Each structure stands twice: as C-alpha cells, then as structure tokens.
Amino acid sequence: MNTSPEPRPGCPVAGGSPAASATWDRFLDHDNRYDPYPLYARLRDTAPVQRLDDGAFLITGYDEILQVVHDPHISSDPLAGRDDVADAGPGLTAAFVMQDPPVHDRLRRQTMRHFGPPHHAGYIDSLRADITRTATALIDAFPASGTVDLVEAFAYPLPVMMICDVLGVPHEDEPRFHAWSMAIIAPPEATTPEEAEALQGEASAATRELGAYLAHLAEVRRGTPQGDLLSGLVNDDGAEGPMSASEMISTTIMLLIGGHETTVNMIANGALTLLRHPEELDRLRTDPSTMPRVFEELLRLEPPAQVTPKYIALEDVLVGDVTITRGSPVWVAWAAANRDPRHFADPDRFDPLRENRDHLGFGAGIHACFGAPLARLETQIALAELFSRLVDVRLVEDPPPYRRNPLLRGPSRLDISFGRVLPAATVS
C-alpha cells in the first residue's frame, strides 16, 4: 500500500487550486491530526474533485470516489502508461495492491486460496478462539486497576500476533519487522530534500531486508508445509501454479504490514470513540449482539485508512464537471466520503443504529480490502473483550496524541484508566 504522505515533487501545476492546496497542507500538518474532518468538509463542500498545486486530483465525494475506483482508466500501477521507468523499485514485483488486472486478479486469487472461501472456507472463523485467547491474555496482563496505554498494551500486539500466526512468522521476531515496517510506512518527517532522499533509501533497504527475511521463512516451508499462508503460497499446486518468488515476497510484505498497521488504528480509534459516547457503550454492553453494527459505524466515522494516494489516470476521465487529466495522480479520501452529507444523513454523528452502512472504510472496487473479514473479527473480539472486562473505564487524555502518518490515522498512545478488571471466567 502506498502510504507516503509526501506530495509529489515539482512546480505548482497550472489549474491547481491554491485554496484546496492550502487546506490539504493543513490536513498534512500533524497539529490537525486529532480532527481532520472540518478540513475534509471544506474541501468536499467547495468541490468533491479538486486539483492540488502539485497536479494530483483529490477526491472527497462519495459518488465521485466510487466512479473513479471502478473506472478501468484509473490505474493502481505506478508504472502504467510510463515508458521512462523500467522496474518497480528495490528488485521486487509490485504487490497486487499496486497492480492492475489481469496480474492483480491472478495474485489476489492465488493469495485468497490460502485465506478464505472457496478453497479455505471457514478459515477466518476458525481463528476466533485464538484471537479471543490472545485478547484475554493481554487484558490479564493489565494492572488490577489504574492506567494503561491501550495502544501499546492491547491494540498493537493483538493484530500483530494474529497476522504472524496467519502468515507463519514467529512472534519473537516482532521487534525486527516492526522496525522495518516503521521505516517503510511511517518514516520520520524529512526537513530537507537530502534527508527525504536518505529516508527513501532507508525505506528501500527495509523492504529488501524484510523481503529476505520472509523469503527465508518461505524456503524453510518448501516441501514441508506448516499450515500457514507462507506454506500455502510456496507449495501452491492450484490451477494457476505457484507465484514467482518475487511475487510471493511482495505479497507477504503487503500482508504483514497491511495486516497489522490498519487494525491497530481500528482498535484504538474504536475504543476512543466508544469511550467518548458512554451511552452507546452502555447500549453495547447491555446488548453485545449489536457489535457488528457498532463496528461498521466506527469504521465509517473514524476509518484508519483515511486517504489512498496511489491511483493514476491513464486517460482523461470526466468526473462530475472536472476532467482528471491523463497521467495525473488521483488521491481518494475514503474518510471524507464516509461523511459526505449527500450520502449519509447527519454524517458527523456516531449512530450505530443508522440503516445506511455502505461506508468506504475498507475501500471499494477491485482493490477493496483483502483482509476485511480478519479485521472485522479481530476488532469486534478486541472491543468486546475489553469493554466486558474493564470496570469504570475512562479516557485519561482527550484528544490523545496521534501518529504522524495522516493517511493511516490513529492515536500513538491511548491512556485509559479503570477501577477493576473482571476475571475472564466471569465473561459470558
């Protein structure tokens, strides 16, 4: 997934809107991370498709995003339509999130064979007991009362352990791939072009090292499958054959990073939103069967994947009354669409009972989230375990500090206090 918040280099482009660019700059400013929604509203209310000074088109309207991500002339391949670039970077095939059909579809199918229906039907649901056990153990490690940083103690370790288990990555290697993952998706802010170049070099090196690490794990499993996704990919005997080694590595890097960075933010954003709405939290505690609706509303209102900056127009494409010109980058703001008043009534309101739940929190079109069933299960179990066991739980700081990345948004820490932890055995 391209999660770089850096605008593309270059001079301001004729026709770019200075007002939209200024609002976008404020969006990128970390000081506004705690509440980007008024900025989205300003952009969307002015025009749901706007051109920024660097030439990218920013889409903030719900219908406009759906049109763009379903248009075959809007590509996800950064090299499509370019004959001046030979390959995708540090020696790896681009992951399928950065590919167009037919390669995207083949790689996604080959991966899904080991993750979900029809070949692996029931697999995600079979993880329920493990996820619950892991969540329970993490809460058991909280102090008997007092405060914890929910990100560090719970929201981060749970999805990391689960995606490790899915892939076949040992838990004890977490510090190694966490460092690589941070260099790739959340580098520190560069203050000079030289620094930006150095950080880009570090990200490429981290990608290579993470790739080599996963290639080694896959080789160990060749001929001796261990029931995990890496084993499935390396020993695949399906009709389309196994992926190439390079495809397998870029796929597993994407799953390892995409599989936890987003869900960490989802659990933290979800807990924060529920604690801000005690009446809805009480309703959920009284009737836990409402959790699936609560989850969808949390994902609509506070989506971790705020903006995806990867699409490129292969031809001129008319969206509303704006022509997205050939060769332009297209940035889709899922989080702005999720609060588009033309689509959702009273969009800033947290309302788990709303009937309209067709949010774009998991994206849309052919690149809609591959891991959504796992993310749904993990987050729902996490929030259910947390709020059924912690008594008298409150936010210590609101708003909490936020991570730097504006595109994958979530708190960097979330301190909560609680009076007591109920034993897991008393949870029905």
For position 97 contacting ligand HEM by CB under 6 A, the verdict is yes
- Residues touching ligand HEM: how many (CB under 6 A)? 26
For position 403 contacting ligand HEM by CB under 6 A, the verdict is no
Q: Which is nearer to ligand HEM, 366 or 395 (CB)?
A: 366
Closest residue to bound ligand HEM by CB: 371
- We find the least distance from the C-beta atom of residue 145 to ligand HEM, in angstroms, to be 30
Q: Which is nearer to ligand HEM, 53 or 71 (CB)?
A: 71
For position 411 contacting ligand HEM by CB under 6 A, the verdict is no
Give the x/- contact pattern for ligand HEM in 337-376, rule: CB under 6 A: ------------------------xxx---x-xxx--xx-
Are 350 and 281 in contact, with CB atoms under 8 Å apart? no
- We find the least distance from the C-beta atom of residue 309 to ligand HEM, in angstroms, to be 9
For position 88 contacting ligand HEM by CB under 6 A, the verdict is no
Q: Which is nearer to ligand HEM, 203 or 374 (CB)?
A: 374
Give the x/- contact pattern for ligand HEM in 19-58, rule: CB under 6 A: ----------------------------------------
Of 33, 44, 51, 108, the one binding ligand HEM by CB under 6 A? 108
Question: How far is it, in rounded angstroms, from Cα 393 to Cα 417?
Answer: 6
Task: Kindly identify the residues of this chain, within the stretch 253-282, that bind ligand HEM according to CB under 6 A.
Answer: 254-255, 258-259, 262-263, 266
For position 333 contacting ligand HEM by CB under 6 A, the verdict is no
Q: Which is nearer to ligand HEM, 28 or 366 (CB)?
A: 366
**Residues engaged in binding ligand HEM (CB under 6 A):** 96-97, 108, 163, 254-255, 258-259, 262-263, 266, 303-305, 308, 310, 334, 361-363, 367, 369-371, 374-375
